[in-house]
Structure 1
Amino acid sequence: MTVRVMLISPAASTDLRAARFGSDAPLSEAGLRRARSAAARTPGADRVSAAPSRRCAETAAALGLTAQSDPALADLDTGGWRGVTLDELAATDPAALGAWLADPAAAPHGGESLLDLTVRVGTWLAALDGGRTIAVAEPAVIRAAVLHALALPPQAFWRLDVEPLTLTRLTGGAGRWNLACGSPLAD
């Protein structure tokens, strides 16, 4: 049975430029406008889910989607780094940041490793039973889905860019997936 998964990254939030770990800031006014303008280009689906974050829920609503909140789509748990910016962490604990960036199994923040995230998202993908699913998900979740679906090495996580309000499509299932990535939803 073929599974079609359309992963939509959230529109820009007020904290996007700050690169803050675990931010749950609302969408920026510009992000909200872009999401609303993309509503007419949002594909249809049999199921619609969203990460439990505010920015994913707000993006889904602005796109005109009625989404079920799904904890399997939650952002990477960065534990004690929640609320800290990347620049702050680089200044206060560069060794921990370096270890985290170099080792996909590392979780110096006390939260979830990149490997753990990829397993969680892979389990979510494997549970889909056909049809078309839209998931408004955090960029880290979309990266993890691509890693899992294409059996990429975990180090590739940092080489995948997921821009705000883009559509990544995975088609297949049962260990054989095809990818169409990064289609913009808004102008």
Structure 2
Amino acid sequence: MADRLRADAKANQDLVLAAARRAFARDGGADASLREIAKEAGVGIGTLYRRFPTREDLVWAVYSGEVDRICEEAETSAPHPRAWMETFLDFLAAKRAMADALKVVLAGDEERRLAVRARITGALGSLLDTAAAEGAIRDDVAALDVLMALGGISLIAGEPDQRAQAGRLLDLLMDGLRPCR
């Protein structure tokens, strides 16, 4: 979506993406009604389809927007990885809600999936490097290891009613990242 949009078209696109994000979180990407998304966004279904011709295009736009957000958050969270980890768990919960639709979008596109992982790992790596330079964590921490640990925490305690447990697990992870003194 690198093309430039008129201000009103951009505003409509943003409304559609916000409504889709809420609908996908609530109903999943595969089950969310595109008509209801357009209605919630306050636009006609034609407006939605003009910008997102397929459900997969809309799912990808929402997901890639969330990837953008989580990577930008890594930049602003330095040198405090714990805060970013909380945000990343929210990202994983949203991704889980869209899992079926994302499988369709990413089916056979290993390059796209790996590019997303590399982007997130790179953003986390920069955050960890900054935190290590500040002395907040060890300097021998691999971003992919932390990413996998966060994925595990999300699988173990990824439901909203398990948020306190997820927080305790993040505290344990952070304890393991702290430099030995």
Q: TM-score, normalised by structure 2?
A: 0.31
Q: Which has the higher strand share?
A: 1
Q: TM-score, normalised by structure 1?
A: 0.30
Q: Which has the higher helix share?
A: 2
